[in-house]
Structure 1
């Protein structure tokens, strides 16, 4: 069986990689288990040295690594370079802060001394999607490795070149054998590996449907899981917002990676007094975006990663217009080769319409009118998802609304993004658990309570 990468800019096969056979899978599982016994005993400084070396190598080879994303999933080259740099930053962040994040915590009790220490648990499996191959890999592995675990990364089968390059970073930089490995698997073979006793936990990023399947398997094996799933993230723009700044940032938030981001601004909810003005600003900014060959430095919007994904996106746009939304721009399938989709803006979208109810994964701005702030909040929370949100208003009103938003992450007057320093994750059907920040590294450790006697009187 081969894992095939197709360049979405032209529809041509760029890479075919042999999937791991049963023997290769067994060897990788055995290596991860064997490596754990030594890796867990290394110091934080020793683990940090490995990750810092890998981070430096990534920074030195940005121009070699970034094009892999551009050719396998269509990420514009500027964004691909930035992703490699961000992955390196994540490795460096945990190299520098893991020891303090995992410091023992003294908890007074009747013991002479009682505390919690944070111990590694074993081999952790990461099941990752195609839309941010390097960043998501290091978001998964950097904290897990610094906690003393070993990692097996099952990347999306459509980005095999990226997966191999990430694994090769550890080989090139003399990481201990078996500490980090790539599993080159078709999706249907994940369950067997996840059920293996040598896998102690799983981190999954992807669709809610896929997350439900992984969560079910992990639960049946009594294994911890972290799920970062889909989102239909609302951005509330109130009448007292800086509309020019809001329009500029929301353009970026919606269009980055051709809109193929879980935390993109997917529903733009604008208070009625400034609705027309905001729509005009968004139209101006969306119109100025340049789509085309993602390998060119001046391209803002590249293709959709796969043909089936583009077809689904177009179905959602057509269904929303059929539901009564106004098509301001875009919305037509181009006839040129590749899986491009035009930057599209839908106005007057309401609850019940397709683009309001479903997650849209593409360069689609969805603009919704709200009567007032209370109505905007109800619209924002009217979704099965709860990944992230943003509010544009005064800082005070923004913080007050944040407490009422059903989302794992809220930005006030700024872009929603993932940051190694801050925890990220969702609620409702956007998943559970947290990645990044101090919270992320605590997901895959044994928080062991230690009671030291004698008891105090």
Structure 2
């Protein structure tokens, strides 16, 4: 990498796919000018027209599904079947907001009938600057962009260096679907240039999915300029299995949640907290199921675990594994990088993990599962909350009433009972503590960046 360009490198082979020239100051200024002009055009379209255009975006994504999927796999290593699922999920996102969005932004009368007529109108606030990660190259960008743009805002995307091909194709697809040129703009800039964009007076607000350090830096700059920000900063999400859970269902869900996308998922099951009476049975089945996972060429339809997206990520992951074993964790499976080209890491399972170990308090962004033992349900909740993060959690139990009471005690933005943590346009996603603040998706994501404008006529 140089100061003038970034490279897309195939993480399965190490080969350079493409070089993308970074914008200089003049090009960046021109891009934001174009974004502003595009936003004005988009803002002035009636809400039903914006919804219809988002439906067209969903259709355009399906038309380009194979192209998108192959590019996702080539740029960040996601197995091709999972990449296709990501594209379809994005198209479904567009469908849902096209169908439900106008109702979410409908005028809201307020009960002041004794003193005139009061109505809240939801209006756009301007251009939202988005700093997005590489692990879901189009889902992360669109889950932010679609509700933001439905509300009439513009969207300027600063995507991760290694998925610039996906970012470029997204912007092209937006225009093909009928979104005005500039209303969805991709800017290829160095990471450090993001701070300057936040302060640009043409930018109204910021949304970030990143690590806590990067998120805090961008949010601090947004605060300095009195601009709203929404942050999703990852987590060490607990996956609690109580003694009365359906063990086979819990094991299958844990394997999927922990190892899909090679474990590079913000809301993946990071810490498997298992009640003592079923610990041995759960662990035996979980290890056996993990052994059956196919790891290899991400372009192969049979592959479930591909390479990690970046060599640095694999090195950091392995350091956490080694540190945890040194601190007393038991290695049940894997525990090392795989030989040969690419950033492959063996599916790994650690047992006897405690909250102070590296695997118990850090976000392991890779195919490593940390199993913790809970004495009882209360201890499981205490372990789940023994973290600085609070993005999502899963809780498995055969008693729905008890599970609901326990779920309310978990410190997280969302708790999924007898299911895996998932993002879905029908429900909000977002965290607390060091996992960030604000919400995406559902009506929350639409209204986060909309002006609730009151007009009270007496």
TM-score for the superposition, normalised by structure 1: 0.98
TM-score for the superposition, normalised by structure 2: 0.97
Aligned to 2:58: 55
Give the alignment partner of residue 120 of structure 1, picking from 119, 124, 140: 124
Tell me the CA shift for residue 258 of structure 1: 0.2
Tell me the CA shift for residue 108 of structure 1: 2.0
Summarize the alignment of residues 305-320 of structure 1 with structure 2, pairs less than 5 Å apart: 305-320=309-324
What is the RMSD of the two structures over their aligned residues, measured on CA atoms?
Answer: 1.0
For the Cα contact (< 8 Å) 1:111–1:451, is it kept in 2? no
Aligned to 1:381: 385
Aligned to 1:5: 8
Tell me the CA shift for residue 402 of structure 1: 1.0
Give the alignment partner of residue 398 of structure 1, picking from 366, 386, 403: 403
| Residue 253 of structure 2 corresponds to residue 249 of structure 1 | yes
Classify the secondary structure of the residue corresponding to 2:409.
Answer: coil
Tell me the CA shift for residue 427 of structure 1: 0.3
| Cα distance in 1, alignment partners of residues 436 and 224 from structure 2 | 18
Summarize the alignment of residues 144-159 of structure 1 with structure 2, pairs less than 5 Å apart: 144-159=148-163
Q: Which moved more, 1:50-59 or 1:122-131?
A: 50-59
Cα deviation per residue 1:186-223 (whole Å; 9 max; x = unaligned)? Answer: 11111111110000001100111111111101100100
Aligned to 1:135: 139
| Residue 216 of structure 2 corresponds to residue 212 of structure 1 | yes
Give the alignment partner of residue 80 of structure 1, picking from 71, 83, 86: 83
Cα deviation per residue 1:41-91 (whole Å; 9 max; x = unaligned)? Answer: 211221122211121111122111111110111000001000011111111
Give the alignment partner of residue 366 of structure 1, picking from 367, 370, 381: 370
| Cα distance in 2, alignment partners of residues 175 and 262 from structure 1 | 29
Give the alignment partner of residue 187 of structure 2, picking from 170, 183, 189: 183
Classify the secondary structure of the residue corresponding to 1:133.
Answer: coil
Tell me the CA shift for residue 351 of structure 1: 2.1
Aligned to 2:97: 94
Tell me the CA shift for residue 134 of structure 1: 0.6
Q: Which moved more, 1:233-242 or 1:350-359?
A: 350-359
Aligned to 2:40: 37
For the Cα contact (< 8 Å) 1:6–1:13, is it kept in 2? yes
| Cα distance in 1, alignment partners of residues 181 and 159 from structure 2 | 19
Q: Structure 1 residues 39 and 174 mapped into 2: Cα distance closer, same or farther (>3 Å)?
A: closer
For the Cα contact (< 8 Å) 1:395–1:413, is it kept in 2? no
| Residue 431 of structure 2 corresponds to residue 431 of structure 1 | no
Classify the secondary structure of the residue corresponding to 1:262.
Answer: coil
| Cα distance in 2, alignment partners of residues 51 and 115 from structure 1 | 27
| Cα distance in 2, alignment partners of residues 341 and 334 from structure 1 | 5
Aligned to 2:328: 324
Any stretches of 5+ residues in structure 1 without a counterpart? Answer: none
Query: Where in structure 1 do 4 or more consecutive aligned residues deviate above 6 Å?
Result: none
| Cα distance in 1, alignment partners of residues 101 and 323 from structure 2 | 47
Aligned to 2:420: 415
Aligned to 1:22: 25
Tell me the CA shift for residue 340 of structure 1: 0.3
Q: Which moved more, 1:331-340 or 1:242-251?
A: 331-340
Number of matched pairs: 453
| Cα distance in 1, alignment partners of residues 13 and 255 from structure 2 | 26
Tell me the CA shift for residue 136 of structure 1: 0.8
For the Cα contact (< 8 Å) 1:117–1:448, is it kept in 2? yes
Aligned to 1:239: 243
